[in-house]
Structure formats: structure tokens, C-alpha cells
DNA sequence: CTTCAGATGCTCT
DNA sequence: GAGCATCTGAAGA
């Protein structure tokens, strides 16, 4: 199967649907000749129209949330806890502030570079625990792929950041990726401040994921 | 395996 | 000034 970048229309849909359907797709990060990629294993939906957990709840428009009002597929990257970045992809019609948070990946391309970005060491020197928890968190995957606030607002179609169905030419998809997806549903992480909305079943992950 | 303190700076009130 | 869509390393079970 030939790899194709998801069309922008993929993101111009209900956010919860997009979050579910992003599982198993490939996040591809490019910087010059460098190509990094990972299979998406965990996502969460955030919908400003009615969701207290969303930064743009009730259409709140500030310098930070401005990106959430951008066209579908736009990258929304923000700093959290003063140290880590989180990557989201904007969803729904332009002007509807909503996005999917990418919470977890399995590494597929550029393992060596990602190990350097994350631990400043060769991949072969990583411990079992480091290897097992390599990209299973929103801050971890951004660190590994050098996704920073400089990526905030990147429009859909930018080579620097894209989501593919399949891996780029020359990189065979592992057989395990061809198996049918087993999707789990649960509540979102770290949004207790959102009251009742914290109970919404808007987190999705593939079996095999830890946590 | 688990819990837990501490890091660190931006965002909004 | 308070709080945050997190992570790490150390210590204990």
C-alpha cells in the first residue's frame, strides 16, 4: 500500500471521531533531510464549544488559544509545566476551536536520533524501562521529535509535520502494524479541573500500550 | 512494581 | 500569584 498524507478533510470532522481514527496512523517529523516517524497509539479529544478541559472552552480566545481557531490540521503546540511541549492537531471547521492531543507513539523511523534527542545517548544504551516508555507520553514524543513551540501554527501540508496512512517510501510497515486495531476508550488524563467534563470518554489507545 | 517530590516558565486572573 | 492536557529519579515494597 502506498503511503499517503491524510487529506485536510480528515481533520474537518467531529473531533472524537478524528481522535479515534488517528490511532494506527503515522506521525512524520521532518527537519531538512532528517525524517522521524512514529505510529500513533494514544490520543485525546478536546472541544472548546462545550468542554471545560479545553484551553478554548466556551470559545475563549487568547494569544495561546488563537491556534485552535485555525483551519483543520494546523499544529497546536503549547508549553506545559514550564518544561514540556504537547502536540495537538486542530479539528473541525475553521473557527471551531477543537483539537486532538497526540499522547503516545511507537517509534518507526529515526530511533537513533530520537534517542539522542531524549537521552543524549545511543539507542543501544537505553535501559529496558527507558525503551518501554520511550514515546508513551505527550511531552516525551515532542522531546524525541524536537517538536517545540516553533511548530505552533504550522499549517496542514507543511513538510515539517504530517500524518500519513503508511510509512514514507522505502520504509516497510512492520507486519504487526497490519493487524486489526484493538481500540480502548477511557477518560482523559490530568483534567480533573474540568469537573464533570473530566468524565467524558474522550481518550483512545491501542492495546499493548502501558498506563 | 509503586509512590512521591521537585523541576521550571508561561498563561491568565 | 496560582496553576498547569508532564516527566524523572530516588526510595520503598
A132-CA/C5-C1' distance, Å: 22
Residues at the strand C interface (CB under 7 A)?
A 44, 46, 53-55, 76, 80-84, 86, 88, 99, 101, 118, 133, 137-141, 188-191, 193
Q: Strand B: which bases are under 7 Å from protein Cβ?
A: 1, 7-13
pLDDT at A208: 78
pLDDT at A171 over 90: no
For residue A127, say whether its CB is under 7 Å from any atom of strand B: no
A193-CA/C8-C1' distance, Å: 24
Question: Grid coordinates representing A153?
Answer: 501554527
For residue A82, say whether its CB is under 7 Å from any atom of strand B: yes
A176-CA/B9-C1' distance, Å: 41
Query: How many structural domains does chain A have?
Result: 1
Q: How confident is the model at residue A167 (pLDDT cuts 50, 70, 90)?
A: confident
| CATH number for the domain harbouring residue A49 | 3.10.300.10
pLDDT at A84: 98
Average pLDDT of span A86-108? 98
A81: nearest nucleotide, CA–C1' criterion = C4
Distance CA(A175)–CA(A95), nearest Å, equals 40
Closest alpha carbon to C1' of B7, residue: A83
pLDDT at A1 over 70: no
Establish if A113 belongs to a structural domain: yes
pLDDT at A20 over 60: yes
A151: left (phi over 0), alpha (psi -120 to 50) or beta: alpha
Q: What is the pLDDT of residues A117-146, one digit of tens each?
A: 999 999 999 999 999 999 999 999 999 999
Establish if A145 belongs to a structural domain: yes
Q: How confident is the model at residue A159 (pLDDT cuts 50, 70, 90)?
A: very high
The CA–CA distances, whole Å, from A171 to A109, A168, A174 equal 8, 6, 9
Establish if A3 belongs to a structural domain: no
Establish if A2 belongs to a structural domain: no
Establish if A38 belongs to a structural domain: yes
Average pLDDT of span A172-183? 92
Closest alpha carbon to C1' of B10, residue: A82
Establish if A196 belongs to a structural domain: yes
Establish if A111 belongs to a structural domain: yes
Residue numbers of the domain that contains A40: 8-206
**Furthest CA-CA distance within chain A:** 47
Establish if A127 belongs to a structural domain: yes
Query: pTM to 2 decimals?
Result: 0.97
Query: Angle A4-A143-A82 (CA atoms, 0-180°, nearest 5)?
Result: 130
Distance CA(A18)–CA(A74), nearest Å, equals 14
Amino acid at each position: 500500500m502506498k503511503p499517503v498524507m491524510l487529506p485536510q478533510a480528515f481533520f474537518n470532522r467531529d473531533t472524537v471521531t478524528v481522535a479515534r481514527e488517528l490511532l494506527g496512523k503515522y506521525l512524520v517529523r521532518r527537519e531538512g533531510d532528517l525524517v522521524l516517524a512514529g505510529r500513533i497509539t494514544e490520543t485525546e479529544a478536546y472541544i472548546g464549544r462545550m468542554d471545560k478541559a479545553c484551553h478554548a472552552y466556551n470559545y475563549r480566545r487568547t494569544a495561546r488559544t488563537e491556534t485552535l481557531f485555525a483551519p483543520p490540521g494546523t499544529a497546536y503546540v503549547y508549553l506545559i509545566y514550564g518544561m514540556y511541549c504537547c502536540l495537538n492537531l486542530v479539528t473541525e471547521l475553521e473557527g471551531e476551536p477543537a483539537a486532538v492531543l497526540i499522547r503516545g507513539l511507537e517509534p518507526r523511523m529515526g530511533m537513533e536520533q530520537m534517542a539522542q534527542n531524549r537521552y543524549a545517548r545511543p539507542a543501544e544504551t537505553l535501559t529496558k524501562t527507558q525503551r518501554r516508555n520511550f514515546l508513551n507520553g505527550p511531552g516525551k514524543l515532542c522531546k524525541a521529535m524536537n517538536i517545540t513551540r516553533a511548530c505552533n501554527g504550522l499549517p496542514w501540508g507543511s513538510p515539517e509535520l504530517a500524518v500519513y496512512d503508511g510509512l514514507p517510501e522505502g520504509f516497510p510497515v512492520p507486519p504487526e502494524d497490519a493487524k486489526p486495531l484493538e481500540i480502548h476508550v477511557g477518560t482523559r488524563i490530568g483534567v480533573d479541573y474540568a469537573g464533570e467534563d473530566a468524565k467524558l470518554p474522550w481518550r483512545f489507545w491501542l492495546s499493548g500500550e502501558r498506563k
